[in-house]
Amino acid sequence: MESRVAIFIDGSNLYHGLRANFRRHDLKFADFVKKLCGERKLFRTYYYNVLQEPGQRAEGHREQGDFLNSLRETPYMEVRLGGTKLAQGVAVEKGIDVMLATDLLRYAWSNLYDVAILVSGDGDFCYALQAVKDMGKHVEVAYFENNISRDLLDMSDNHHLLDRDFMKGLWTIRSYPSRRRRSSRPVSKIVDRAANKQA
């Protein structure tokens, strides 16, 4: 019988990994999911992240809205959004890991998938993955080399390194514009300040 795959994406981990490794985030999610599945059958993809507050960073909120709209257009994709809370004046994620781990376990218990693919390098998911394995399911991890828990890799039955070879052909824009200035001529501080605001 063909294996059913469920993909669980730690959105913040993926976004920052794309930024840190490729300096871009224009990912073709449908193709990304298809590549992770291979020849197996996709049950559903679940994406978890926080919803940015418009009052804190309006531009980021607008960009995220466009990004989430493109996600919702991806077939068999569910978007799960949490919120933030202030901890010593700093906004931190609230409940995202719990949401992901709960779905991971609940859908395994309900026998909705045979293979879980976790897109994250966060070692906090190790115990949940072990529980899924104890239910007879297979678990895989998709990760960036510079952001992976060794325990998470050891826990997985298989893994996918998200490097340049894996990501080839998965971008919506063929040539992503560089944010570096091409001219070495000095520019005014006002222009510099404006460029920094746009970055």
Question: What backbone phi and psi angles, to 5 degrees, belong to 41?
Answer: -90, 130
What's the pTM? Answer: 0.80
Span between the terminal Cα atoms of the chain, in Å? 49
Q: Tell me the two tokens of residue 108.
A: 């395994």
Domain 4-198: assigned CATH number: 3.40.50.1010
How confident is the model at residue 89, as a pLDDT?
Answer: 55
State the average pLDDT over residues 56-74.
71
CB 171 within 8 A of CB 24: yes
| Residue 176 to residue 86: CA distance in whole angstroms | 34
What count of other Cβ atoms lies within 10 Å of the Cβ of residue 144? 20
Q: Tell me the two tokens of residue 101.
A: 């781990």
Amino acid at site 176: Y
pLDDT tens-digit series, residues 120-156: 999 999 999 999 999 999 999 999 999 899 999 999 9
What are the domain boundaries of the chain? 4-198
How confident is the model at residue 189, as a pLDDT?
Answer: 41
pLDDT tens-digit series, residues 9-49: 999 899 889 989 998 888 899 999 999 999 999 999 999 99
